[in-house]
Amino acid sequence: MNPPLSSLKLLESATLISQGAEAASISKVYRGSLSSEGVPVLLKYRFQKQYRHPKLDTSLTKSRVAGEARALLKCLRHGVNVPGIRMVDAPAGLLGIDWIDGITVKYLVPQGLDKQADETIDQLAEAKTLDQFGITIDALMNLIGVEIAKMHLADIIHGDLTTSNMILRSPQSTADKKNTELVVLIDFGLSYHSSLVEDKAVDLFVLERAFASTHPDFEPLFASVLAAYAKMLKKDWAPVQRRLDDVRLRGRKRSMVG
Amino acid sequence: MESIQYPQFDLKRSKVHIALFKNVSNSGQVKSRIVAAATAEGDYGLQERAAVNFAFVEARLITSRQHIETAIYQAILAEEAGTMLTKTVHSEILYFLNPTHNISEAIKRYGISTDTQDLILVRIDEPNVKEEAVEIAMKSVIQGNIEAFSALDDVTDWMTVKKYHKLSNEVAIAATRGNPAKEKSTIDTIVTSSVAMKNVMQ
């Protein structure tokens, strides 16, 4: 039996929006619409991998789409700001989620100042963008900490926390009373379920490293993220904090093998 | 009545008509008619099945147009893939709406019942079928007033939706205390997402 074609046809009518270096090996992301004149949705397509046996490929793809959808629903039920799910076609490798209008935090936090000459220009541009969103950098870091805390309280580990996987909703989109949440976490492709302090600490450590590499001169901002996170976790913060210190010393991998 | 087009689907299921009926007065009668039509024989049986060839959805359990559209979409996908668990694409919509895998519970809760007051009718069909004809067919079965989908806001029974989806004690809902608008939109997102991912729910 041939696989149903509707999901592939749907992608043909959609616009490819990202195929990032790393993501290209896993999935492609499109902006499309489920029906004519429908609202925009984000379509994440895990395409067929030619290097795998087709049967294995189908079953892996299916379980990954399922895993991502389950993590999203769990987050939704725990009040974490994540996109709602709009369609799932697991055999085709397609997941449709709400389109979030906004900008990734990566472009809001001042970037590394590689070129001295661009320094002032860059910073001016960034400040302006933050102004447009009517939010200070500290408030933004605070919101990020709160979302990560809510996610960890739900025992979901993101697996790929970076400033590219967080979106600040645009003011136009929050003007609609339904979207009051500001920072939305995205891309649960590497997420999993765990209540271990180790996994939560590593999740935070990954974000800390991401801050250090993407925004080298603004690493202290990460302290604001942690402060907000600690406040949400209350009594559960102390063990995570201790473990985070350990992880910083030894790196992400616990075992020294491999 | 409103019509939605899905160009990506096979022609025979590429157009969907949905209508919200309020103050339905003959729900008991419609229900017995659907049940009788299922087993009626001969030409009469064919006629009757064609006449009630809709999904009859209990409107008070639907939280938004997006909610019902998501169930319709997943039902069509299942029909296309040959993975339906019920007999028709219309009953499959009811199956997707219900949070459990129990089909008779899905039909009991999300289908028409003797005390249904507000109803959503859905017809999945080919694009050549005239919208007027579908609306006439709907009106010939249901005694009630067709209203715009925006009227669904006054119909939704949020307490029952929360109960069926076991949401009352969820963190997300507790966090919206004191903000009914936010609570409703949170419930809507969770419920819609549950319908979309039902197939992979484990």
Taking only the tens place, the pLDDT of each residue in A40-55 is 999 999 988 888 999 9
Task: State whether A197 and A71 are in the same domain.
Answer: no
The reported pLDDT for the residue numbered B73 is: 97
Whether residue B100 lies inside any domain: the answer is yes
Q: Which domain holds residue B81?
A: 2-156
The reported pLDDT for the residue numbered A108 is: 84
Helical axes A197-214 vs A137-153, angle rounded to 10° = 150
A38 touches chain B (CB under 8 A): yes
Q: How confident is the model at residue A229 (pLDDT cuts 50, 70, 90)?
A: very high
Whether residue A256 lies inside any domain: the answer is no
From A81, A98, A115, the end of a domain falls on A98
The reported pLDDT for the residue numbered A121 is: 53
Active site residues of A: 160
Query: Region A209-222: what's the mean pLDDT?
Result: 84
Whether residue A153 lies inside any domain: the answer is yes
Question: Rounded CA gap, A80 and A74, in Å?
Answer: 9
Nearest to B155 by CA among B82, B72, B58: B58
Give the total number of structural domains in chain A.
2
Question: Rounded CA gap, B5 and B3, in Å?
Answer: 7
Q: How confident is the model at residue A176 (pLDDT cuts 50, 70, 90)?
A: low
The reported pLDDT for the residue numbered A116 is: 44
B174-186: per-residue pLDDT in tens? 999 889 999 999 9
Task: State whether A170 and A204 are in the same domain.
Answer: yes
Task: State whether A134 and A235 are in the same domain.
Answer: yes
Amino acid residing at A216 = P
Amino acid residing at A207 = L
Whether residue A171 lies inside any domain: the answer is yes
> CATH number for the domain including A232?
1.10.510.10
B21-47: per-residue pLDDT in tens? 999 999 999 999 999 999 999 999 999
The reported pLDDT for the residue numbered A130 is: 79
Task: State whether A28 and A111 are in the same domain.
Answer: no
The reported pLDDT for the residue numbered A256 is: 56
Task: State whether A164 and A202 are in the same domain.
Answer: yes
The reported pLDDT for the residue numbered A107 is: 85
Whether residue A255 lies inside any domain: the answer is no
A2 touches chain B (CB under 8 A): no
The reported pLDDT for the residue numbered B192 is: 98
The reported pLDDT for the residue numbered A125 is: 60
Q: Which domain holds residue A55?
A: 6-98
Task: State whether A128 and A68 are in the same domain.
Answer: no
Interface ipTM: 0.94
Whether residue B124 lies inside any domain: the answer is yes
Task: State whether A166 and A242 are in the same domain.
Answer: yes
B63-74: per-residue pLDDT in tens? 999 999 999 999
Give the residue from chain B lying closest to A154, CA to CA.
Answer: B171
Q: What are phi and psi of B81, to 5 degrees?
A: -80, -5
Alpha carbons within 13 angstroms on the beta-carbon side of residue B21 total 25
Percentage of chain B lying above the pLDDT 70 cut: 100
Compute the radius of gyration of chain A from its Cα atoms.
19
The reported pLDDT for the residue numbered B4 is: 96
Alpha carbons within 13 angstroms on the beta-carbon side of residue B88 total 15
Q: How confident is the model at residue A109 (pLDDT cuts 50, 70, 90)?
A: confident
Give the residue from chain A lying closest to B174, CA to CA.
Answer: A79
Whether residue B136 lies inside any domain: the answer is yes
Question: Rounded CA gap, A148 and A132, in Å?
Answer: 24
Give the residue from chain A lying closest to B168, CA to CA.
Answer: A77
Whether residue A257 lies inside any domain: the answer is no
Task: State whether A13 and A51 are in the same domain.
Answer: yes
B178 touches chain A (CB under 8 A): no
Shortest distance, CA B102 to any CA of chain A (angstroms): 20
Give the total number of structural domains in chain B.
1
Burial of A9 by CB count in 10 Å (0-12 exposed, 13-18 middle, 19+ buried)?
A: middle
The reported pLDDT for the residue numbered A188 is: 96
Decide if A90 and B170 are in contact by the 8 Å CB cutoff: no
Arithmetic mean of pLDDT over chain A: 86
> CATH number for the domain including A78?
3.30.200.20
Query: Region B156-161: what's the mean pLDDT?
Result: 97
Sign of the CA dihedral with B115 first, then B197, A30, and B185 last: positive
Decide if A34 and B182 are in contact by the 8 Å CB cutoff: no
From A77, A98, A119, the end of a domain falls on A98
B87-106: per-residue pLDDT in tens? 999 999 999 999 999 999 99
Whether residue A209 lies inside any domain: the answer is yes
Nearest by CB: A66 against B9, B69, B200: B200
The reported pLDDT for the residue numbered A132 is: 80
Residues of B in contact with A35 (CB under 8 A): 4-6, 69
A114-171: per-residue pLDDT in tens? 444 445 555 556 666 777 888 888 999 999 999 999 999 999 999 999 999 999 998 7
Shortest distance, CA B200 to any CA of chain A (angstroms): 5
Helices (H), A51-118: 54-77
Task: State whether A82 and A195 are in the same domain.
Answer: no
Alpha carbons within 13 angstroms on the beta-carbon side of residue B27 total 21
**SS3 of residue B122 by DSSP:** strand
Whether residue A258 lies inside any domain: the answer is no
B69 touches chain A (CB under 8 A): yes
Size of interface A-B (CB pairs under 8 A): 105
- pLDDT of residue B113 exceeding 80: yes
**SS3 of residue A248 by DSSP:** helix
Cβ atoms within 10 Å, residue B131? 12
**SS3 of residue B19 by DSSP:** strand
- pLDDT of residue B50 exceeding 80: yes
What is the DSSP secondary structure assignment for residue A154, as one 8-state letter? T
Whether residue B75 lies inside any domain: the answer is yes
Arithmetic mean of pLDDT over chain B: 96
Task: State whether A236 and A188 are in the same domain.
Answer: yes
Question: Rounded CA gap, A107 and A132, in Å?
Answer: 13
Cβ atoms within 10 Å, residue B109? 18
> CATH number for the domain including B77?
3.30.2380.10
Task: State whether A242 and A131 are in the same domain.
Answer: yes
Nearest to A85 by CA among B155, B70, B135: B70
Do the beta carbons of residue A124 and residue A36 sit within 8 Å?
Answer: no
Nearest by CB: B172 against A7, A76, A91: A76
Give the residue from chain B lying closest to A3, CA to CA.
Answer: B81
Decide if A87 and B73 are in contact by the 8 Å CB cutoff: yes
The reported pLDDT for the residue numbered A129 is: 75
Task: State whether A20 and A110 are in the same domain.
Answer: no
- pLDDT of residue A31 exceeding 50: yes
Q: What are phi and psi of A152, to 5 degrees?
A: -70, -30
Please provide the distance, in angstroms rounded to a whole number, between the alpha carbons at the two ends of chain A.
Answer: 42
The reported pLDDT for the residue numbered A126 is: 61
Whether residue A35 lies inside any domain: the answer is yes
From A46, A76, A98, the end of a domain falls on A98
Decide if B193 and A1 are in contact by the 8 Å CB cutoff: no
A88-102: per-residue pLDDT in tens? 999 999 999 999 999
